Amino acid sequence: MIQQLCIIGVGLIGGSLARALKAAGAVSQVIGCGRDPVQLQQALELGVIDRAELDPVVAVQAADVVVLAVPVGAMGGVLRIIAPHLAADTILTDVGSTKASVVEAVQRVFGYLPPRFVPAHPIAGTERSGVAASFAELYQKRRVILTPLAETEVDAVDVVREMWQAAGAEVVEMEVQHHDEVLAATSHLPHMLAFTLVDTLARMEEHTEIFRFAAGGFRDFTRIASSDPRMWHDICLANREALLKVLDCYVTDLAIVREAIASGDSAKLMQIFTHAKKARDEFKQ
């Protein structure tokens, strides 16, 4: 059991972790920290946290584990505040969707990579945000990726792994750069496509009618465009190198589809669609 858990950023991800650990009896006390007193009060009323703190310095004192659940662009600022006040044995971890940028932020602030720092990323979420959207089952049968570093102590990794397993997740380990490359393709690119498509359609003169008659396929594909813009703005810039690489691949392939449509190349279109259907059907299994 974690005796004292501090979550900085009690929204969907942080709040759901707190709920899951409480439901599993895996934590004694949860301290929630954030800049919005209304959100913190709501977290208290919902029973998501046991204590609320606006001051991160106070929040991390005596914490066994500190979870950074803020946008990746805000990690550096939070780290600069709490770094001098973390106990030597406190485990520091995060939930950022990009790992290299978080590791770099930690390195800049501390001047070294702390042995009790365990980078982590839960592959879970919804298009909703805020503590009111959190729920204990979010991580059930979902994967959480840990990207421990050469400096990371084994027992710290064990604690973070057991924390996520208690929340219901399957925990795997991956190298930092590989994580960012994989997530650029499987998560970051789809969000960029959804945001861009909705923005394109919303700027058309007929956008009201377009959205009015949108079918289920449009709703399914664009659902994630309702995600937090600030969070995805930060992810896009933090993982720009890997994201640009996969974006370039997509743009190249999209140009091939456009040419096939323009030239009436039935065989090419059927080849692309058949290959895509086969790959997607295999993924469902």
pLDDT of residue 284: 67
114-137 residue pLDDT tens: 999 999 999 998 878 899 999 999
167-206 residue pLDDT tens: 999 999 999 999 999 999 999 999 999 999 999 988 887 7
Whole-angstrom CA distances from 283 to 3, 33, 200, 280 are 40, 38, 29, 5
219, with CB counted inside 10 A (0-12, 13-18, 19+), is: exposed
The radius of gyration of the chain from alpha carbons, rounded to an integer in Å, stands at: 21
Please count the structural domains in the chain.
2
Single out the residue in 174, 192, 213 at which a domain terminates: 174
pLDDT of residue 149: 98
Single out the residue in 137, 157, 174 at which a domain terminates: 174
Angle at 95 between CA 92 and CA 175, to 5 degrees: 85
Whether residue 2 contacts residue 28, with contact meaning beta carbons closer than 8 Å, is answered with yes
pLDDT of residue 178: 97
Count CB-CB contacts under 10 A for residue 204.
10
CATH code for the domain of 233: 1.10.3660.10
Query: Is 17 in the same domain as 156?
Result: yes
pLDDT of residue 129: 86
Determine if the pTM surpasses 0.85: yes
Query: Is 25 in the same domain as 111?
Result: yes
Single out the residue in 174, 208, 229 at which a domain terminates: 174
> Is the pLDDT assigned to residue 93 strictly greater than 60?
yes
Domain holding 260, by residue range, is 178-284
pLDDT of residue 73: 93
199-252 residue pLDDT tens: 998 888 777 788 888 778 888 888 889 988 999 999 999 999 999 999 999 999
